[in-house]
Amino acid sequence: MKKQLLFELTQSLLRKMSFRITAFTVLTLLTVQSSFAQKWTVLGSGSGSISSGATLYTSIAVVNNGAVYTPYVAFTEATIGKVKKRLSDGTWSDVSTGLPGTAVTYTRLFSNSLGELFITYIDGSSTPVNRLAIKKLDFNDSTWKSINNDDANTLYVSTNSANPNTNSNFTSANRCSIVFDSSNTPYIAYVESNNPYLKKFDGTTWVNVGTQPISADVAISPDLALDSNGYPWVSYTKLATTGATTGSISLFGYNGSVWTDYSPSTPITSTRFTCISFKDTNTLYLGYANTSSSTRATIVACNKSLPAGTGWGLATAIGTNSASYISMIKDNSGNLYCAFRDAFTATPTKISPRVMFLGTSQSVWTELKDPSVTYGIEEQTLWPSIAIGNASYPYVAYSTNTTPTLATARVFDPLIKSSAVTAITSTTATAGGEVLSGATSVGTVTERGIVYGLTFNPTTADTKIVDGATTTGMYTSPITGLTDAVTYHVRAYLFLVTELFLKS
């Protein structure tokens, strides 16, 4: 029997009633470290579930209809583009009608706030070859169609090849990125004839955003984000030549009329697989693989309010070794998620998808891992992808590194979460949590309660209050003996006993 201690923690929500009231920091849902207060629930895996043959270019998107969230997974089997939809009974249904039957690579899914679903891919059967194509799913007949069905020319975003002829080290680099503005207008960043481009769909056709190409750089791995004013920012890896094995970070911002180069004045070199997201109004976070440091997944911030080229901070490694397939997303609460494939030193080497989380008020990335494996979410994988849409928790998809490679989809499933602190006085308060139903699928609840203290991440070594019940559901615990005007941190905890061996 193994006893597993789980904590629930995340970004701080400071609750201060007055200068006479105790200040409480409630650490709520997602910043989970090695305590594993969560799992990644498998939604589909294995032959015949999502895929049957060898899969590549796995991508996931989440579409919601009210409170129902439906994951879609795109991939290729023998260069045939396919999309599967998860049904309410847990099975997966094919929705591939309208996709090419051959020569498809680099499939990616994107959804907007209206629940519309788009797929992009490199079309190896186009003329010229390898143009970037985009289609939209018609939910009425479950068929993929041109984004403007009255104009077949809107099928293609690029005029020429959007699959750069670069070194094989960039095989896993994304070929495009899409974001949607507040009106759900799609913007798409991509590389054409080795240069970075950005277009948007004006309701009828694809139009350039400012002067195109954005620069004359040899580019790979484009990504895209919109600032608080709705203006696009494009990042990519800049290469010296098409045969280069690494490059440097490039960042360009658009102000409605011209593009400005915000790339660091002291170049950040030895990079691959650039991705980007806004953390707040002025701060962009860029992720990349740092080949000068074991090719670890790395994050660097840029303050766009400072003069172009000057707002860059220090880089922080969040990975271990040989990172690839790096991407970054942001949820509706402003939390960031960075997904990538990482390599761990073991025998044999473990190649695992990982998801790192950064809360809105946090500066330290923490991992959302699965307790059933030592490393990441699952060991030995390819082509990880992450999406969240309007959902509360992220979804991931990837291909297993097996024979054949098969598509797998999972959703993040927390086991416990903290409740808001209430009834605050100068010396007392009430805290609590909720043990979620998924906890019983991992083990037997033997103890639940809260811990609190003066440090940001209190543990059972700090003050512990045992609730007494051993069931799932909500619970509260009174706290007494507090000191006025002192900031306390509190989080829920859970003990599970399981026959499984779970690292803790």
How confident is the model over 148-172, as pLDDT tens digits? 988 988 999 999 999 998 889 999 9
CA distances from 102 to 98, 105, 125, 230 (A): 12, 9, 7, 37
Domain boundary, last residue among 414, 438, 457: 414
Three-state DSSP at 104 gives strand
User: What confidence tens digit (pLDDT) does each residue in 403-436 have?
Assistant: 889 999 999 988 888 888 999 998 999 999 988 8
Within a domain: 408: yes
Q: Is residue 483 part of a domain?
A: yes
CA distance linking residue 411 with residue 416, whole number of Å: 15
Kindly report the number of other CB atoms within 10 A of residue 18's CB atom.
8
- The per-residue pLDDT for 458 is 82
Asked whether residue 456 is assigned to any structural domain, the reply reads yes
Q: What is the reported pLDDT for 498?
A: 54
Residues 450-483 as b or e (16 or more Cβ within 10 Å = b): bbbbeeebbeeebebbebeeeebeebebebeebe
How do beta strands 23-27 and 487-498 pair?
parallel
| C-alpha distance from residue 443 to each of 58, 136, 440, 503 (Å) | 32, 43, 5, 13
Please check whether residues 22 and 45 belong to one and the same domain: no
Per-residue confidence (pLDDT) for residue 236, from 0 to 100: 98
Peptide bond into 264 cis (omega under 30): no
Q: Which of 330, 252, 316 is nearest to 287 (CA)?
A: 316
Residues 282 and 422 in one domain: no
Q: How far is CA 198 from CA 146, 206, 222, 253, 386, in A?
A: 19, 10, 10, 11, 23
Residues 155 and 266 in one domain: yes
* Together in a domain, 451 and 372: no
Kindly state whether residues 167 and 309 are assigned to the same domain. Answer: yes
State which amino acid sits at residue 384: P
* Phi/psi of residue 300, nearest 5 degrees: -135, 145
Residue 62 lies in a domain: yes
- 333, 467: one domain: no
356 and 287, same domain (yes or no): yes
* Domain span at 19: 2-36+417-498
Residue 344, in any domain of the structure:
yes
Displacement of CA 345 from its chain's centroid (Å): 24
pTM as predicted: 0.84
Torsion, Cα of 491, 417, 283, 197 (10° steps): 160
98, part of any domain: yes
Q: Are residues 426 and 390 in the same domain?
A: no
Give tens-digit pLDDT for 391-405: 989 999 999 988 889
Single-letter code of the amino acid located at 35? S
Q: For the chain, what is the domain count?
A: 2
Among 387, 414, 441, the domain-final residue is: 414
Residue 31 belongs to a domain with what CATH number?
2.60.40.10
504 within some domain? no
Judgement on whether residues 311 and 167 belong to the same structural domain of the protein = yes
Confidence (pLDDT) at 504: 28
Q: Percent helix, strand, coil in the chain (nearest 5)?
A: 0, 50, 50
> In the structure encoding, which two tokens stand for residue 51, read together?
């895929």
Are 65 and 124 part of one and the same domain?
yes
pLDDT number for residue 66: 81
Q: Which of 414, 445, 477 is the last residue of a domain?
A: 414
Residues 81, 63, single domain; the answer is yes
The answer on 277 and 407 residing in a single domain is yes
Establish if 503 belongs to a structural domain: no
| Residue 383, domain CATH | 2.120.10.70
pLDDT of residue 139: 95
Which residues of the chain are modeled with pLDDT < 50?
Answer: 1-2, 7-36, 499-504
